[in-house]
Amino acid sequence: MKFLFDFFPILFFYIAFKWQGIYVAVIVAIAASAIQVSYSWLKHKHVEKTHIITFVIIAISGGATLYLQDEMFFKWKPTIINWLFGLACIGSQFIGKDPIIKRLMGDNLLLPNNIWLRLNTIWACFFIFMGTANLAVVYNFDTDTWADFKLFGMLGLTFLFIIAQGFYLMKYIEEPK
């Protein structure tokens, strides 16, 4: 259920894009992200940092897209978000006690410290790759193809990455004592 909650702004953007085009889709994405943040706050009195970061970037890039009537600002959004998350992973290895991936997943997995560092680096590389892949599609294909890639390609690559990560981690997971 959380997965659907995390991705519903993307899904609403895609539906609106196919129905009415990029500018209506941008408005829908901004509204959906605002609803996501508001709902989380009203229900849990807490909003995940990723949702806040995403909302701010959607609002800024979407606002620029609408104001300047240039869709390129919004097309760069997935790249900016992925690269920021990649930089956060890299920076967390030098700031704080544990890498960010361990902070996020450490309550659910017992792994040796060196594997947490490796996993954090793998996630950083994945985020950087996804941002770069988005730009490759933005500059080499039309907006319709980019929208398809944004929903299906990026989501599919993320699923494959998580499955591969699971297979990789199986040999390192420690049993609780």
Residues in the chain: 177
Amino acid residing at 176: P
Amino acid residing at 84: L
Instruction: For residue range 48-58, list pLDDT tens digits in order.
Output: 888 898 899 99
Q: What is the pTM of this model?
A: 0.84
Q: Is 4's pLDDT higher than 80?
A: no
pLDDT confidence bin for 176, thresholds 50/70/90: low
Residues 49-74, mean pLDDT to the nearest whole number: 92
C-alpha dihedral sign at 104, 105, 110, 115: negative
Percent of the chain with pLDDT over 70: 95
The CA distance from 77 to 137, in Å, is 13
Name the nearest CA neighbour of 52 among 16, 20, 6: 6
Name the nearest CA neighbour of 2 among 59, 67, 50: 50
Name the nearest CA neighbour of 124 among 73, 155, 165: 165
Instruction: For residue range 131-172, list pLDDT tens digits in order.
Output: 999 999 999 999 999 999 999 999 999 999 999 999 998 888
